[in-house]
Structure 1
Amino acid sequence: MQPDVCATVPAGESAPRRSVREPVLARKHPWAVSADIPRAAVFTAVSAGADHSCGLLIGGEAVCWGVNDVGQLDAPAGSFVTVSAGTVHSCGLREGGEVVCWGADVLGLLDVPDGSFVAVSAGTVHSCGLRAGGEVVCWGVNDVGQLDVPQGSFIAVSAGWEHSCGLRGGGEVVCWGDNLLGQLDVPQGSFAAVSAGAFHSCALSVDGAIVCWGAGVVGQSGVPQGSFAAVSVGLFQSCGVRVSGEIVCWDIDGVGQLAAPKGSFAAVSTSGFHSCALSVHGVVVCWSLNDAGQLDAPEGSFTAVSANDDHSCGVRVSGEVACWGDNGAGQLDAPEGSFTAVSAGFWYSCGLRTGGEVVCWGDERYGRLDAPEGSFGAVSAGAFHSCGVRIGGGVVCWGDNGDGQLDAPEGSFVAVSAGGSHSCGVRIGGGVVCWGDNGDGQLDAPQGSFTAVSAGFGYSCGLRIGGEVACWGDNFYGQLDVPEGSFVAVSAGGSHSCGVRVDGGVVCWGLNDAGQLDVPQGSFTAVSVAFGYSCGLRVSGAVACWGYWRSDPRIGAEA
């Protein structure tokens, strides 16, 4: 179930750090957050476990996300060169060769043998490591011989559910452990990589073809043709990265685990019911289950909606705030009382009470919950900071100020929007001014008069008085390519944008790797864009959300 991945090593080995081209904010969705994902995080490796995943940041820090019931997300501090997510535990390899494991401290899962390693692979209830001399050693449960490594030297190892496989220097693959379904019956041939799953295994031939064996009765033997650069085996599904960078998945598709995102990828890791891939830009993309429920808007009538990262919030007609999605940091625990507006940020939310007070809840890091006292007319929650417009027109911001996103200019404003690491406001005269990070030109607002502005991640969009939408900043995914027509509202997200047309129709543009541009039919009054999905407020007051492959719910992210 383990395979950890990277473009430069055989699937099944731990993934070393690799250089990436573009600093893109990486996503980790939609699980509870126990690791601090820094702004503009770029990943160099990713590994999908059963109910959690782990990634390696470009600086060597290991971060994990997902279910944390036994501490499998609590990666120790320090620098790592590899990381591997298992079922209820994770393991990482430090630069000095030390292997450290964390999570469920049962069955010997965390009892790493002494000595130096060059690779590690975490399975279901056992793990295996590769020493510099080629020796493979395994630890954990040994009820079916999964620790009984054959003699000889190996260059790669992959720990699966109850069996493991190793790759010898001459290209031979050897497997050991449970063989109930033939998962040890390796076909002849010369291989460059191997990946052990639950009931089957796959290997990458030296000519780029994928060969699988084991429980083929459920489809694992139906491997697509063509030349591949990597392969990863999970519970009932397998995925491979073609030489072109395209990801192809096959086998049983019960919850959308075969619907791989589009784009160019360097590596893939598949496990229980979800998979994660590392794009050539260093972004982690995961798909399959939507188990955080951030698309599952509650029934009822709302007056406002706001979507962000792993959760969404809405204001009911009664004034009550209701939030849905992941609640790992308490971002769904809206306080009681009557509100006129709500804004969902990264793992926290802020609301504007009827009396003008701003209150925030959820993740308290960076001081994001420390809303200043006083009466406000508007509030906007960004990634790690928030901004509000006071009744008198002044803008005040709080939270992280690493890029100057709190340094609002003086003057009177009618609207404000907090983005990733920058903020924008609309002055009383209609001019837009932005402050904070300007690495992609997101502060370079065009001239003219605007009625609204929305700060996304690396770019911004504004609504002109005449109904035209203008966007500026990063256009890597086409998020600035606004369609023609007249709009009444606009929202900028991670890598896509949406607008409400005069006739009530919603149109979206930019990245569409998770269906975030596939707007449902009907008439809307408002729209809110997050990472990989959007939510809209229908004329009837109902909330509809789309993206993350809503028809095949999955966890997703921008490639």
Structure 2
Amino acid sequence: MRAWLLAGLAGLALGCRTVPATQVLVFFHAEDELAAEATSIRVRVDTDEGNALDRTDPLSRDGVTHLARVPLVPRDGDASRRFRVSGALLDARGEVLVEVSAVGGYVSHERRELHLWLDRECVGIEPCGDGRTCQLGVCTGECFEPGPLGDTARSQPLCGECETCTSGACAPRRDGTSCGCEGDTCQDGTCRAAVRVHNVFAGELHTCATTAGDGLYCWGSDRAGQTSIGEQRAVPTRLAANLWSVGSCGTDFTCVLGVFGERQCWGWNDAGQIGDGTMREEVVGPTEVTEPALDLIDSGWNHTCGIGEDGRLYCWGGNRNGEVGEQDIGGGVATPRLLAPDDRFLQIATGGFHDCALRTDGRVLCWGLNESGEVGTGDFVDRTAPTEVGCIEGECVDDWISVAAGDFHTCAIRGEGELWCWGGGQNGQLGTGPMLLANVASPVGPIEGGPYALAAGGGSHTCAITSEGALACWGRNDFGQVGIGTTDQNSRPADVVAPGRAAFRALGLGRDHTCAIRTDETLWCWGRNTEDQLGLGDGAGDRVTTPRRVCFPPPVISARTSAR
């Protein structure tokens, strides 16, 4: 989405003297739809000496993007001075629609930039109070650090949701006040989640997650019974309390694993994707299967693969292109089928109609549909059995540590954190830049950024987490699934940031939406929301372009527990 750069404030320069090197240029931004509801912007600047500016300017309506900047210069060039700048969008009645504020400082003999956004998510939010501002619907401390000149990325607050900006530093809130979702509280400067999310897995139009000690939740479309709820739900809905470990979502079905390896699947079963030995075109309710006992599981469009307790590899479901390792392609396999019986595996990644697995010796094997080069064999011929891939410049390496699969592409991480990708690249999902928007049958990379510790593939987009917990996404972005505030396609890694300072640790990518778990065990989702697959509740809209917190129902406390 094209962004508005609000009202010109060039008259703020101090007289006609030459602008000194020590300076901060402040820019205000808003999305088109929000800016269209406003008629003017009010800007206020306060310094150590008091108020330096308080003015209101009309918004430009000449059909072009306007740069609005507030150049700030410290008195006497003293870089130790600080400033507070705020901006508010006003409607035709002069009422405030939304506002943002920032406290920042200077760098001696450097020009810096501060890009502040007035967010749709902050409209209607109660005032955050002294030392705090609203970002993406969340109140955070208003401390910001201006970036280098020319860095036009959205500036991020230095403080978290349970911190206040005091004298230019983030001070923790220890008052136990409410934060985040219902039941969350501020403790020692951190918003402690009442519901802690352990795993998230996403399908085409639905999403599920497991939580600490509270079971399994699903939301989104239930057109084929894939959520087992009976109807579409816009917020996480609890299915069952159990010691669930991991799970996976296919197009119209879901599977989860218990801590003892038992498997339960439900949803559409026309190709045997439930894996209970049956194959029928009807919705199947939760069906438990105990053999073989599995530790890991992942699902493609209409098939699933898993790794057993002994490291053996199994697949079942649709086999149109050999994705379950059956040479008799075109039908389905209704019972888990053992593949590569002499090998042992550490990880499985299923794409739309292909699969890749990481062997214990650090080599990657792939099979299934290969018309986009997603199997990675250097050609575009389908494979009906696991075939070693991951060959770079003709040499098949054995230091792979992780593998991920999108619908028609694959990525894998080597031992030093290098990320390589192959397969369909028409939407930039390979992350190699605009010069390579095509199908590639062999690994290309390493992808910029990193070192990477984890990657995941969606329909035509990719996300990866660095060893320090930073998140980057790239590829198709028509629903905002890349998570950077626009719907522009990105062919290189772009930083994704959620309010607060917690890092990311887990990913769940759907066809056109993305979910990620932070180290504070909170879940954030963004992208396509046409069937409520983001779990954000009514009114979130059909697409969300930045990470939004997913709230779960507070845990039920029994009378016995509360009486202790």
Normalised by the length of structure 1, the TM-score is 0.46
Rg larger for: 2
Greater fraction strand: 2
TM-score of the aligned structures, taking structure 2 as reference length: 0.46
